[in-house]
């Protein structure tokens, strides 16, 4: 796991976990999920506080972390752009040091990954990446939990779409878990070679193709995400054209003859990267996947705060 000079453990991307630690977090997530289903309290973070710093808007990240801390017996404090003025009113390192005196853990949802690294470098408590433009590791934890619950880690998984932050963390997570992954992206919208190198060091890099039909041919699960991410509206038309011409929409034709399940991290742009028919079909694991953000993040928080 990522450590700063003071020995504090951070979660900036999914490969900050070892394979054993990943299993520990997912096992804890499964346990917490079962306790929720049985209406059993599990206040393992009683009197602990999570500070939540947001530059980007959020539905799932904010609600899942805030609800998760409540279920764990703790408390979450929301700090939006107007509350904290990240990097404007005062340096990032001052914000990090100040928050570390108040809370037990800091979760951030930011644009620039370098800002996350700077906050973590000066924090006296664990810092969790709730999303940056480079990575979305908490989503990957939920994705892996969903794969493990449904088809198991010996399954074949395909990523079809943009090589964005969600895809990059997913590549690392699949390598860490030993999941057989194929990634299909248009030629100009692929995943960073540095991410593939990190995946290879963890276990194995994914198979890479520009042919979505080849990627899904033998897949047990097909994953996708929006083609145009937050902050990319300037090249929206160009990106849409590339994905449409390449046949990257997950639709009935692409999945014809396949029993593959569908995963999507949401929000979905129905009619772009995925059709309404597929999203509303019996294939979908999307809502299970969305719920699993709550349980996976609870497992992570309990792990980081030595409550397992």
Give pLDDT tens digits for 267-291: 999 999 999 999 999 999 999 999 9
From-to residues of CATH 3.40.50.1370 in the chain: 2-136+291-304, 139-289
Catalytic residue flag (residue 109): yes
Give pLDDT tens digits for 131-156: 999 999 999 999 999 999 999 999 99
Give pLDDT tens digits for 183-211: 999 999 999 999 999 999 999 999 999 99
Give me the catalytic one of 139, 168, 249, 289: 139
Cα(212)–Cα(248) distance, integer angstroms? 6
Catalytic residue flag (residue 138): no
Cα(48)–Cα(76) distance, integer angstroms? 9
Catalytic residue flag (residue 198): no
Give me the catalytic one of 168, 265, 289, 297: 265
Whole-number pLDDT of residue 4: 52
| pLDDT of residue 301 exceeding 60 | yes
User: What percent of the chain shows pLDDT beyond 70?
Assistant: 96
Q: Which CATH number fits domain 139-289: 3.40.50.1370, 3.50.50.60, 3.40.640.10, 3.10.129.10?
A: 3.40.50.1370
Catalytic residue flag (residue 168): no
Give me the catalytic one of 62, 136, 283, 295: 136
Give me the catalytic one of 16, 293, 295, 297: 293
CA-based nearest residue to 213, from 185, 244, 255:
255
Whole-number pLDDT of residue 253: 98
Cα(250)–Cα(213) distance, integer angstroms? 10
Instruction: Please state whether the peptide bond connecting residue 267 to the residue before it is cis, i.e. omega within 30 degrees of 0.
Output: yes
Strands 156-160 and 180-184: parallel
* Strands of 75-79's sheet in order across: 75-79, 49-54, 105-109, 127-131
Catalytic residue flag (residue 115): no
Whole-number pLDDT of residue 88: 73
Supply the angle between the helices 193-202 and 165-177 in degrees, to the nearest 10. Answer: 20
Give pLDDT tens digits for 216-258: 999 999 999 999 987 666 688 899 999 999 999 999 999 998 9
Q: If you search the block for the tokens 């892996």, which residue do you land on?
A: 144
Inter-CA distances, 228 with 49, 110, 185, 243, 268, Å: 34, 17, 13, 10, 11
Whole-number pLDDT of residue 97: 96
CB neighbour list of residue 28: distance below 8 Å, 6 or more residues apart:
298, 299, 302, 303, 308
Give me the catalytic one of 134, 168, 225, 249: 225
Give pLDDT tens digits for 97-140: 999 999 999 999 999 999 999 999 999 999 999 999 999 999 99
Whole-number pLDDT of residue 271: 96
CB neighbour list of residue 133: distance below 8 Å, 6 or more residues apart:
111, 112, 113, 165, 229, 231
Supply the angle between the helices 286-304 and 137-150 in degrees, to the nearest 10. Answer: 120
For domain 2-136+291-304, the CATH architecture is 3-Layer(aba) Sandwich (3.40)
CA-based nearest residue to 174, from 166, 66, 93:
166
Whole-number pLDDT of residue 263: 98
Cα(78)–Cα(99) distance, integer angstroms? 12
CB neighbour list of residue 10: distance below 8 Å, 6 or more residues apart:
1, 2, 3, 4, 16, 120, 123, 126, 127, 128
Q: What is the mean pLDDT of the chain?
A: 95
Whole-number pLDDT of residue 1: 45
Give me the catalytic one of 9, 10, 60, 109: 109
- For the stretch 117-152, what's the b/e string if a residue is b when 16 or more beta carbons lie within 10 angstroms of its beta carbon? bbbbbbbebbbbbbbbbbbbbbbbbbbbbbbbbebe
Catalytic residue flag (residue 143): no
Give pLDDT tens digits for 5-63: 467 999 999 999 999 999 999 999 999 999 999 999 999 999 999 999 999 889 999 99
Strands 2-3 and 9-10: antiparallel
């Amino acid at each position: 796991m990522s450590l700063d000079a003071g020995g504090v453990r951070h979660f900036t991307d999914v490969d900050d976990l070892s394979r054993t630690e990943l299993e520990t977090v997912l096992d804890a997530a499964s346990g917490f999920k079962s306790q929720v289903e049985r209406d059993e309290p599990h206040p393992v973070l009683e009197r602990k506080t999570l500070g939540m710093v947001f530059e980007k808007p959020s539905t799932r990240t904010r609600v899942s972390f805030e609800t998760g801390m409540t279920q764990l017996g703790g408390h979450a404090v929301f700090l939006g752009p107007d509350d904290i003025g990240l990097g404007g009113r005062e340096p990032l390192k001052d914000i990090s040091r100040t928050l570390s005196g108040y809370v037990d853990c800091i979760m951030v949802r930011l644009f620039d990954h370098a800002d996350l690294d700077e906050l973590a470098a000066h924090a006296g408590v664990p810092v969790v990446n709730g999303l940056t433009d480079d990575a979305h590791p908490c989503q990957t934890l939920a994705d892996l939990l969903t794969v493990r619950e449904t088809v198991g880690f010996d399954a074949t998984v395909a990523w079809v779409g943009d090589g964005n932050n969600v895809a990059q963390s997913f590549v690392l997570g699949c390598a860490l878990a030993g999941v057989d992954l194929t990634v299909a992206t248009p030629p100009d919208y692929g995943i960073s070679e540095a991410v593939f190198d990190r995946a290879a060091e963890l276990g194995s890099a994914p198979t890479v193709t520009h042919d979505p039909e080849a990627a899904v041919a033998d897949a047990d699960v097909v994953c996708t995400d929006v083609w145009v991410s937050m902050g990319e509206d300037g090249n929206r038309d160009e990106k849409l054209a590339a994905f449409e011409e390449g046949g990257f929409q997950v639709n009935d034709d692409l999945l014809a003859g396949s029993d593959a399940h569908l995963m999507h991290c949401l929000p979905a742009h129905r009619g772009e990267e995925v059709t309404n028919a597929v999203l509303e079909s019996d294939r979908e694991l999307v809502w299970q996947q969305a719920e699993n953000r709550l349980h996976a993040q609870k497992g992570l928080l309990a792990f980081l705060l030595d409550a397992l």
